[in-house]
Amino acid sequence: MDVNSIITQVSRDRDPLSNGYTSPTKDEKSLKGSFKKKAKSENQHNTFRSMLCCFGRPKRKIPLTNKPTQEHHTPIPNGRSEHTPPPTPTLVTNTPEPPAPTANGERKFLLQPRSPSFGRKKCAVIDLDETLVHSSFKPISNADFIVPVEIDGTIHQVYVLKRPHVDAYLERMGEMYECVLFTASLAKYADPVADLLDKHGVFSSRLFRESCVFHRGNYVKDLSLIGRELNKMIIIDNSPASYIFHPDNAVPVISWFDDPSDTELLDLLPFLEAIAESEDVYSVLRTHGFTSHAKETTASIQQQQQQHYQQMQLQQQLCNTDDEDR
């Protein structure tokens, strides 16, 4: 088994969100009571975090900010934005049908029935690689974690960097949502990484590659199989291919590799607070431009997939013709 097949990642050069994408989070005026502003105010006197291996490509024109040795946050009582929610959109996607009923008439979903302890919390499906962490089989001198992974009888070391502010982000998300980790990577790698990353026990469930739908060369996270109401569920992911079936539910995230000045997770929190307080997830996602971008990127991917499929069919026809001529 190829060691690189253990982890599902996007490359720097092929990141679909790094080419001209301007995240709605750049407009700090769009939501009041910004978590990001409060966190910066609290942390401005802390010392610099040890620098990562390299700066990478900055995704925003912002000054290098301090990385605190211990993350703090102040919960926001109400992150609701001031807007008139548009009507809930009609989902028109290439979504497979939900699971067929079993012998006793019940549908088999990926998650167990919702626990009453979550109350009215919505469900947040959160990606791992390039969203919360970046991992490499190549040694990284200042890795946050080093995870041993057995592949074909040999132990390999995986070096893991945590995205800036991920601890505060996860803690706040656990206060607002039923959080589900869903990664297209294999469990033998992702499960121990989650054990080290999720120090607050935020993730109530973890889903791995075997829970994805393999669709035209991509591992897709089909939200209809989760077992939660679609209008009460979001997916937070850096890869548009992951949410190609449900772009209306997507919160696109810029891929992270090693930039220590990254503030994407803090930038997203005010919007995620507003979604948590809304009647359904679509209102905030549509109002602040997440949905339109998600639909554009997934449509582009579907077009590329269709072109590739047609080319494969043409090549097969040519091969069949050559065989007949012989």
Residues that are catalytic:
127, 129
| Inter-residue contact 79 to 33 (CB < 8 Å) | yes
Residue 225 corresponds to which tokens in the numbers above?
A: 């199989």
- Candidates 320, 318, 247; CA nearest to 286 is 247
Please, what is the angle between helix 264-277 and helix 166-176, to 10°? 0
Contacts of 212 (CB under 8 A, 6+ apart): 184, 219, 220, 221, 222
Assign 3-class secondary structure to 145-189.
EEEEEEECCEEEEEEEEECCCHHHHHHHHHHHEEEEEECCCCHHH
Q: What are the CA-CA distances from residue 271 to residues 3, 283, 305 (Å)?
A: 37, 11, 31
DSSP per-residue string spanning 12-70: STT-TTSSS---GGG-GGGSSS-HHHHHHHHHTTSPPPPP-S-----SS--PPPP--SS
Contact in structure between 271 and 288 (CB atoms under 8 Å)? yes
Instruction: Indicate the residue type of 118.
Output: F
- CA-based nearest residue to 127, from 51, 2, 237: 237
Residue type, 88: T
